Amino acid sequence: MFTGCLTALITPFAGGNIDQRALADLTEAQIAGGVHGVVPCGSTGESATLTHDEHIAIVREVVHLVRGRVPVIAGTGSNSTAEAIRLTRAAEEAGADGALLISPYYNKPTQEGIYRHYAAVAEATRLPLIVYNIPGRTASNISPETMGRLSRIPNIVGVKEASGSLAQVLEVIHATGPDFAVYSGDDILTLPIMAAGGKGVISVVANIVPRDFSALADALLAGDLERGRTLMLRLLPLVQAMSLEVNPIPVKTALALMGRCADEFRLPLTPISPPARAKLEKVLREYELV
């Protein structure tokens, strides 16, 4: 299905609105950088502060900008199953190639509730669906056993695994089988997850260096671990800098420093603190990005 480096796109704002020009430039830069797909309206895209109309409009615009050159996997998750279905159907109508759905947050559903949530969305769409497991944001973890059950639903094709546990990743790979794609949801774990059989990464850092992160994914898909290690170690300072503050504050700030978008967020996200900004600028200078 989808493999390689899939970029979790930021959402650029200008004067409180979506910056259409910056969105177009950023999307084109990703394709020029050789990424294998783009993911608008996820956590990195500040989806939690987008209106439904904005959400759907961004997906539609990215599909238009991409023009079929790479897959567009729309973020359509919600803690309301009905809302997730509505957003997923809208993404399908907009021409997206797939959908990424965060596990229901705040509700803290049981494993059975998580299973039924995804099963209901899958029943309502023909799109290939990628589950997104990130317990640090959702307050619930999708167990490998539940992932195994979900993998048997035909149009649930993969999982963005961001539990931070390599042991869990291995258990998920074992529980789901070779036809189910496991993607790294943490840039820092791309090397070990893909070396263990993962099919790619849904990357934050690729917003900044799409060519370099795509090269990393290509090397690992080809089984070239030596080149993968070399590339990962070179990328390490950039990857670590993305954790200076909560995502997507560092990555959007980096793009702003590179002149690619405005340094603008929607509350409750705020501009990066001066100490973190200084550290980020130092890393960008060392990587010759500013």
Domain boundaries, the chain: 4-232
Token pair belonging to 39 = 């993911």
In 3-state terms, what secondary structure has residue 5?
A: strand
Mean pLDDT score, 2-9: 97
- Which residue do the tokens 């993998």 mark? 151
Q: Identify the DSSP state of 288.
A: T
Q: Cα separation of 94 and 242, whole Å? A: 31
Q: Is the pLDDT of residue 24 over 90?
A: yes
Task: Compute the mean pLDDT over every residue in the chain, rounded to the nearest whole number.
Answer: 97
The number of beta carbons lying within 10 Å of the beta carbon of residue 17 is 10
pLDDT at 127: 98
Sign of CA dihedral 261, 52, 83, 124: negative
Interatomic CA distance for residues 198 and 215, integer angstroms = 16
Task: Give residue 116's pLDDT.
Answer: 98
Return d(Cα 131, Cα 120) in angstroms, integer: 13
Q: What SS3 state is found at 108?
A: coil
pLDDT in tens, 167-218: 999 999 999 989 999 999 999 999 999 999 999 999 999 999 999 999 999 9
Q: What is the pLDDT of residue 1?
A: 79
- 283 has pLDDT over 90: yes
Separation CA 143–CA 156 (nearest Å): 16
pLDDT, one tens digit per residue, over 55-106 is 999 999 999 999 999 999 999 999 999 999 999 999 999 999 999 999 999 9
Which whole number is the average pLDDT over 118-128?
A: 98
H helix or E strand, kind and range, residue 8 = strand 4-8
Beta strands, E only, 40-179: 73-75, 98-102, 129-133, 156-161
C-alpha–C-alpha distance, residues 202 and 198, integer Å? 11
Please, are residues 8 and 252 in contact by the beta-carbon 8 Å criterion?
A: no
288 burial level (CB within 10 Å; 0-12, 13-18, 19+): exposed
Q: Whose CA is closest to 185, among 168, 175, 177, 176?
A: 168
Give the angle subtended at the CA of 215 by the CAs of 95 and 257, to the nearest 5°.
Answer: 80
CATH top class, domain 4-232: alpha beta
Rounded mean pLDDT, 218-241: 97
- Looking at residue 175, its pLDDT comes to 96
Report the catalytic residues.
Answer: 132, 160
pLDDT band at 129 (very low <50, low <70, confident <90, very high): very high
Amino acid in position 236: L
Are 100 and 31 contacting, i.e. CB atoms less than 8 angstroms apart?
A: no
- Average pLDDT (129-151) is 96
Asked if residue 17 lies in contact with residue 224, where contact means CB atoms within 8 angstroms, the answer is: no
β-strand pairing of 13-14 with 200-203: unpaired
